[in-house]
Amino acid sequence: MSIAMLSKKLVSCVILDLDGTLLNTDGVVTDVLKAFLVKLGRQWDAKAAHKIVGRTPYEAAAIIVQDYGLQCTTEDFISEINPLFSDQIEGPNPNFGWPRWCNIKPLPGAERLLKHLRCHDVPMALASNSPRVNVESKISFHPGWKESFSAIVAGDDVRNGKPSPDIYFEAAKRLNVEPSNCLVIEDSLPGVSAGKAAGMEVVAVPSLPKQHHLYTSADEVINSLLDLQPEKWGLPPFQDCNSFSNCFIEMLIRFFSRGPFNQTYGLMISGINGTLPLEPWHIGGPVIKGYGRGSKVLGIPTANLSTEGYAAVLSEHPSGVYFGWAGLSTRGIYKMVMSIGWNPYFNNVEKTIEPWLLHSFDEDFYGEELHLTIVGYIRPEANFSSLESLIARIHEDGRIAERALDLPIYSKSKYKDDPYLGCTLPADKNRL
């Protein structure tokens, strides 16, 4: 374990926020607010979303009423909008509807984290500014979640919501632990402030883009739950990712990468190679011209995809570097590595998708249909001090993806018949 890891305060339990930390509630909230404001002749401003993130329902409502100049009281606004979150939408049984909360997906890494802590008997509490009825409703659609928490503290269980520390003091009390022994995981500034005011260690996972620099009071800021390293806080490390000391990693690489062990321990090697297996997901469309910097500036020809129509998909996946398989409709299926995000070095104004097919092509293929199956994660998005260091890191990502996609857990034997890729052409060394 590194000196940096040893410098962290050790904890014995974890307290988690819900909205924006474990569940991707932003989409549902945005959809409801958009529809509600349109009826009042107003237009939702996504750039102002940070004003309400992490606030109590009353505080958020008061901000919206004031900012949009609504001719109603905060109480009236709440009474009108709350039923919209309980509106029935179509469920699996056509005779019965489900509330909107049923469509909320866990954020990447949430299921993995809860399962990991539960399996290692690490006490957990849930601490949310939302009313208990909403908290209970949201987690009811995720089997095993409610049972994972030794305590659930909602906004109406305490006198003051976040950023007051009341909710975290109450969670520690119900866990029967000292606040100083707790690790808080939060997405919002009010939540981080509440955790620190309670004397707890806090890991921030900002739910809004380009906000990391605001979280100066957090003990650590990470891009997503996929990047959390529990061992930094004295908790058991994940076994599906690179959580071991460098010496142990090198020993395992030398031992398991030979002979039959390569096949048997593919998952372990994938972790050692610095990748994390994901539940496969898909995205695709015609290849478009990007910013013109792939081949010309970086010397790396990316096959860019339009983000139009993929807002929901992009909101579900944190910015970072991923890898998988790419199917070109008339050419074949190839290994690929891709970035999703704002590319801090170039300071993109929108979230982009930039796949790099790990194959040398003799010609451009703009307009050709490209389908991607993403199977693993390499690292979070990062900024670089120079163009040279950015290029070097991209090439390293490519080498990591190249090696990982030869492992059984990611390899062609699992994805050659994926109908989404839609290609059955003869293979070369980088094709299926």
Catalytically annotated residue among 17, 26, 170, 219? 17
Check if 76 is active-site.
no
3-class state of residue 88 by DSSP: strand
H runs (alpha helix) in 227-324? 246-256, 261-264, 266-272, 311-316
What is the number of helices (H) and of strands (E) in the chain?
A: 15, 14
- Helix (H) / strand (E) containing 392: helix 387-404
DSSP letter for each residue of 160-184: S-TTSTHHHHHHHHHHTS-GGGEEE
Strand spans (E) along 69-200? 88-90, 97-99, 124-127, 151-153, 182-186
CB-count burial class (<10 Å; 0-12, 13-18, 19+) for 36: middle
CA dist 204 and 111 (Å) reads 18
Tokens of 8: 């962290």
Tokens of 107: 């954020």
End-to-end Cα distance, the chain: 38
Check if 350 is active-site.
no
Q: Please, what sign has the CA dihedral across residues 373, 377, 379, 380?
A: positive
Amino acid letter, residue 2: S
Q: How far is CA 7 from CA 34, 170, 238, 248, in A?
A: 45, 27, 19, 21
3-class state of residue 158 by DSSP: coil
CB 125 within 8 A of CB 175: yes
Max CA distance (Å), the chain: 73
Count of CA atoms in the C-beta half-sphere (13 A) of 3: 0
Amino acid letter, residue 18: L
CA dist 195 and 173 (Å) reads 14
Check if 17 is active-site.
yes
Strands 369-380 and 276-288: antiparallel
Catalytically annotated residue among 170, 220, 354, 418? 354
- Helix (H) / strand (E) containing 305: strand 304-305
> Which residues are tagged catalytic?
17, 19, 354
